[in-house]
Amino acid sequence: MRLLVVEDDRDLNRQIVAALEQAGYVVDKAFDGEEGQFLGETEPYDAVILDLGLPVRDGSSVLNAWREAGKTMPVLILTARDRWSDKVNAFDSGADDYVTKPFHIEEILARVRALLRRATGHAKSELVCGPVVLDTKNGRVTVDGNPVRLTSHEYRLIAYLMHHQGRIISRSEIIEHLYDQDFDRDSNTIEVFVGRIRKKLGIDIIETVRGLGYRLELPQAG
Ligand code: CA
């Protein structure tokens, strides 16, 4: 899952990005409204964390612009202001949730998890595909209850597929949602990762759909 953090306070930006990366997300960052707006409009993020008080262009006008451009990714607003009207305006501009500063980083992580699973149609923090369970809370994958050790890239890939179960996901979509904008993208590596994940899970829930991509599904019986 690929996220964008738009926050002009550099320390806070770094702190949020580090916590999200630690939790297994790939994260891009922006430090003013203009840069943030551009990234949000041009890159396919699974969710965005957006500060309201930003230089160049404020957060609610950035959000308005995204929504007017048809961007539907979930947006979590950060606000230092307690004024209820700021929150109302943010929701009316298309925000999905908010956190008031100062906050505990755990609250951001929990709200991001909730936004991601709601956006992909899941009600619980545990995503299940047959014997395979991905606990988005602690970033762990188990098969029949046994923990599977995955690298961060493998985790990101299986997490993306688990969130989008049953849907065909193209390689280019995987690449766009697994790597940040500066990463040297090579679609052949995806096949390598899929191969490794299949081996580690010991059950083939990742179907290769020839010419189209991959689909996560339980193998058909018989
Ligand atoms: Ca700010």
Q: Domains (ranges, CATH) in the chain?
A: 2-119 (3.40.50.2300), 126-216 (1.10.10.10)
Q: pLDDT by residue (tens digit) across 103-133?
A: 999 999 999 999 999 999 988 889 999 999 9
CA distance 98 to 90: 8
Band of residue 81 on the pLDDT scale cut at 50, 70, 90:
low
Q: Is the pLDDT of residue 220 over 70?
A: no
Mean pLDDT of 139-152: 95
The whole-number pLDDT of residue 125 equals 87
Task: Kindly give the distance from the C-alpha atom of residue 86 to the centroid of ligand 1, in angstroms, as a whole number.
Answer: 14
Q: Is the pLDDT of residue 145 over 80?
A: yes
Q: Is the pLDDT of residue 222 over 60?
A: no
Is 2 within 8 Å of 25 (Cβ atoms)? yes
Band of residue 218 on the pLDDT scale cut at 50, 70, 90:
confident
- The mean predicted confidence, pLDDT, of the chain is 92
Task: Kindly give the distance from the C-alpha atom of residue 54 to the centroid of ligand 1, in angstroms, as a whole number.
Answer: 5
Task: Kindly give the distance from the C-alpha atom of residue 131 to the centroid of ligand 1, in angstroms, as a whole number.
Answer: 44
Task: Kindly give the distance from the C-alpha atom of residue 183 to the centroid of ligand 1, in angstroms, as a whole number.
Answer: 27
The residue to which tokens 């899929």 are assigned: 194
The whole-number pLDDT of residue 67 equals 96
- As a whole number of angstroms, the longest Cα–Cα distance in the chain is 60
Q: Is the pLDDT of residue 219 over 90?
A: no
Is 63 within 8 Å of 35 (Cβ atoms)? no
Q: Is the pLDDT of residue 37 over 90?
A: yes
Which pTM does this prediction carry? 0.89
Q: Check residues 13 and 222 and name the one with the higher pLDDT.
A: 13
The whole-number pLDDT of residue 180 equals 79
